[in-house]
Amino acid sequence: MKQGPLAGLRVVELAGLAPAPFACMVLADLGADVIRVDRATPGSDVLGIPNDPLARGRRSVGVNTKTPEGVELVLKLAERADVLIEGFRPGVAERMGIGPEQVHARNPRLVYGRMTGWGQDGPLASAAGHDINYIGVAGALDPIGRAGERPVPPLNLVGDFGGGGLMLAMGVLAALHERTTSGRGQVVDASMVEGAALLTTSLHGMRAAGVWPGERGENLLDGGAPFYDTYETADGKYVAIGAIEMRFWADLVKVLGLENEDLPAHVDPSQWPRLREILAGAVGRFTRDELVARAEGTDACLTAVLSPWEAAEHPQNAARGTFVDIGGTVQPAPAPRFDRTPAATPEAPHEKGSDTAEVLAELGYDSEGVAGLREAGVVSADHG
């Protein structure tokens, strides 16, 4: 029995890469019963990895959706589901026979979640792209980087996961809430461009208010301000400083041993180059851990910059169980937390197609029927 606030929710996932699987991972983490429809004969993808944490916590069926029988199986799964999620280019699901109209004809209550880079229409709708392209057009890439240098891709966190997968999961849950009054499903059109653009909302407000006047790397929160930046320590590691408010700045000055120095006003942009040199020199006198220890118990807003692999060992993360070991891979635990319906530790990813027989049995197929589908190449022949 699934555990979490979404226990009882049934989701069909048409296997893809990055943002749509992340949305399904979030739903599965929170208790949804997610069935992932993989290829009947697993192929290889350049971004596919074994034991992928993005595939955790759900069952997998291997289905050949290029056959009428395979399409029918997907439609039967959709008949029993609350949600279907796909991440194909616009029009692909319709050509396969599992687009919104075909699915809603079988289950009008189903929420149909669609994840694309550009959206379902518009001049670029059918164009190829990746996270870096989507956030570039969204205006989310240009502000990231050092002054006078080129924009720096923030991994694929802003488009694929923040503006993509999380927005899709939120949209699905919003549509499910609306269904409680209308009794009807609907299509959720989640675009990484629009999701990434939404993440920049505060930047537009600050620009309009005149508090974001500079170009890349010249403003308050983009590394332009010396009191909101990273600095190298004596051991070649880094600390993050975010001492914006005056009381936090005062504590930082003490932590760095600068309270007796004649420091320039930290809010005066004309003094930022000089102040940066002073801070870099002060930080460089200590190792990372020495500085973190000095800042402990203060409001200096000085913390270590940890690698993703170090983060699990941090005392705060260890105390909260922010990371868990699943199938031998340390990875982030489900979030957020719920006091009455806590999420369980997710299961390790199932081998592709390994749950085919079990899921088909739930649809009413007996062992003979499953064998026939395997022999016809409709479902996975290697597992379950």
Residues with catalytic function = 130, 160
CA distance 216 to 250: 27
R_g of the chain, CA atoms, integer Å: 25
**b (16+ CB within 10 A) / e for 172-205:** bbebbeebeeeeebbbbbbbbbbbbbebbeebee
DSSP annotation of 204: H
Record the tokens describing residue 350, joined without a space.
């199932």
CA distance 51 to 325: 12
Cα 258 to chain centroid distance, Å, stands at: 40
CA distance 112 to 172: 8
User: Is-contact 114 169, C-beta < 8 A?
Assistant: no
Residues 358, 359, 365, 371, CA torsion sign: negative
Number of helices (H) and strands (E) in the chain: give both, helices first: 14, 11
